[in-house]
Structure 1
């Protein structure tokens, strides 16, 4: 039986990945900050699907948290076959509205943690000649959206480059770029969603289904919905200023968003 490690596993897309992978009979390692939530989730997955579900409480905005997950990914006695780098968050307001410390924390989670964890997973995968990494980015990677969009653009570029370098090794890497995904996280966090049209919302389980299909097909970037593929195609053709104005308004009522 193979093992998958998912960061930001207790909410949103991360929780959907954990459910789907456990249903497909993968043992799972669940990573997030809330140990009690992790334990509840692990017990549910074990009882429902009969898989081994380990937990690792780690804050990926800290060096100690990243190092703890690196150590688990590098353990030769218990190899990880699939890594899902999902942990992340967003900040309220435009550039200069958010404290610089929060912007730096975002870069730590979205960029440094993704780089370090991908490296920790990919090296032993390369030695074994098999494995996969899904780095969760966003369609914001293709739009001018300040630090959030810039950090997700880095995830996409890094993943595409690493995938090319590892193409002949049996290790697959893919950047997952969803749009707005409706999950319980928004309700629990009290985030406003009234300014987002209904057609723009995606289902987390369907996003994960598409992502795993695209990974199996060898794609390096997955935009998991035809509507967003059309929207991103139109965005590439539209004047940069118009795209910037649209992207700055979308989701502006949101407060901090954190998964993992």
Structure 2
């Protein structure tokens, strides 16, 4: 059976990836800081789908923990067929008012950690075949603080890597959802609700993951779930950055 390693798997899109992949018969390696939540999810999937689920409790911003996860990705004796770089967190949009150490941690998790795990995965997948999904955001197409910049890097690198390693049988896909119903916003300390964003603009996690997996299977470099977000991304190429930046201040994706 194929094996998928998912970071940030204890909740939100990460947990949804785990549920959908287990439902398709994939064995799993689940990575997150919350051991209790991971074990609960792992137990659920073992019983429901009869798949093997390995749990790695790790803080990916801790060097020793990241080394353990990287070593698992590089283990050719139990190869990873699908890497899902999903771990992440958000910060307030006011960069100058944020703690710079928080900003550095934010940058490391979204860029450095994802890059290191991709490098490790490519070392095993090249010639053998495999898929990498980097959970980015439509924010990566908009000028908006460091979250946007990090996601833009993921999108750009995924596009390049998808073309570069296609001949080796490896696809790399940047999954770019818009506002999605998960616990992401609550973890940022934001009040419940939709931040003034119309309900039409919110996506369900199961739809985002299903479309992301479909586009990855098709070898697409970028996956934008839903026609409305595809239209928004197309508009960002035509509108001035000053305008899209003002609009983007209304919420966080």
- 1:208 alignment counterpart: 209
- 1:79 alignment counterpart: 79
CA contact (8 A) 2:32 2:56 kept: yes
**If the length of structure 1 is used for normalisation, what is the TM-score?**
0.93
Q: How does 1:117-196 map to 2 (within 5 A)?
A: 117-128=117-128, 130-186=129-185, 191-192=190-191, 193-196=194-197
**If the length of structure 2 is used for normalisation, what is the TM-score?**
0.95
Distance 2:157 2:44 in 1: 34
Deviations 1:83-106 (A, max 9, x none): 000000100241212100011001
Unaligned runs of 5+ in 1: 255-260
Q: How does 1:40-119 map to 2 (within 5 A)?
A: 40-119=40-119
CA contact (8 A) 1:5 1:30 kept: yes
Distance 1:40 1:92 in 2: 31
Distance 2:63 2:111 in 1: 13
Distance 2:36 2:68 in 1: 18
- 1:257 alignment counterpart: none
Relative to structure 1, the CA distance from residue 189 to residue 49 in structure 2 (aligned partners, 3 Å threshold; closer, same or farther) is: farther
CA contact (8 A) 2:31 2:56 kept: yes
Shift of 1:248: 2.1
Unaligned runs of 5+ in 2: none
Shift of 1:167: 1.4
- 1:229 alignment counterpart: 230
- 2:26 alignment counterpart: 26
Deviates more, 1:109-118 or 1:91-100: 91-100
CA contact (8 A) 2:89 2:184 kept: no
RMSD: 1.5
CA contact (8 A) 1:60 1:108 kept: no
